[in-house]
Amino acid sequence: MRWPAPAKLNLFLHITAQREDGFHLLQTVFVLIDFADQLGFCITDTPLIELDYQLAGVSKEQDIIYRAARALQQKTGTLQGARITLEKNLPMGGGLGGGSSDAATTLLVLNHLWGCGLDLPDLAAIGLTLGADVPVFIYGQNAWAEGVGEQLIPVDIPKTWYLVLIPEINVSTEQIFSDPQLIRDCPPITIRDFLAGQGQNVCEPIVAARSPEVVAALKALADSGAKARMTGTGACVFAAFDTETEARQIWSTLSARWNGFIAQGLDHSPVHEMLKSV
């Protein structure tokens, strides 16, 4: 059985403050989309965690899927293990939350298959130790997020189609958040403000100044008449459309030059529905 780890988009991203420990406080809206990595889990009766794949430049101990599985073992004391496969469809360093979503799917599925019995808040707490974006994938709902990204309020997002372009670069979140030009004192806004059209991605000009590929991708979407935005700390950029037909019309003019995909927004992560049937 293959388990999806869906991507996310940030519909806006503000940084409102920086804590003394260096972490940034933010406001954002996460929307899940139906473009995903795919994971497989074979449960074993020894505590060994085996990875049947290798990500370039990432050791087993650094791999967030491995770290998620080990964190769940340490939290619950289970003596079971797993052999894990990964079909990596989401780009690394793209701002789509691929690693965080992989970790969340790992926690959700192994919690179920190992019979650990942890609830979603427990899993989200483990996930937060792995990355600030992991909790939203644990809960599996579109959300307004504050804090470091772990304070989540579910929001309803109209069914939307997204065209996502993937520039051929890998953006380091750490480098973007450490840039001295990054705006760190955005006035807080409300959900109502966002729904009225307020909000931007304050990381976008920082990434654009470093990455002409991102500038070109934003321009390609804008020149097609779409409202172009960057997700997270990049590098992926996207535009939203009411219908699949509109998205495909624009994509047909860009696909010869750009890597990318079309995806539909989700109301809930498919992982939760799949767990109900296992």
In DSSP terms, which residues pair with 24 in a beta bridge? 18
* Residue 223: alpha-carbon gap to chain centroid: 27
Q: What string of DSSP letters covers 97-141?
A: -HHHHHHHHHHHHHHHHTT----HHHHHHHHHHH-TTHHHHHHTB
Query: Could you say which of 8, 37, 63, 102 is catalytic?
Result: 8
Question: Which one of 45, 133, 156, 223 is the catalytic residue?
Answer: 133
Which tokens belong to 86?
Answer: 């990964």
Residue 8 bears catalytic tag: yes
Strands (E), the chain: 2-18, 24-44, 49-51, 81-87, 143-146, 151-154, 161-165, 229-230, 237-241, 260-264
The closest of 269, 251, 264, 198 to 33, measured between CA atoms, is 264
Residues 6+ apart with CB under 8 A from 141: 32, 152, 154, 267, 268, 269
CA 20 to chain centre: 26
Q: Report CA Rg, the chain.
A: 19
**Looking at the DSSP assignment, which residues form a beta bridge with residue 144?**
29, 153
Q: Is the dihedral of CA 137, 171, 217, 28 positive or negative?
A: positive
* Terminal alpha carbon distance of the chain: 10
**193 catalytically annotated:** no
HSE value, Cβ hemisphere, 13 Å, CA-based, for 266: 22
**Residues that are catalytic:** 8, 133
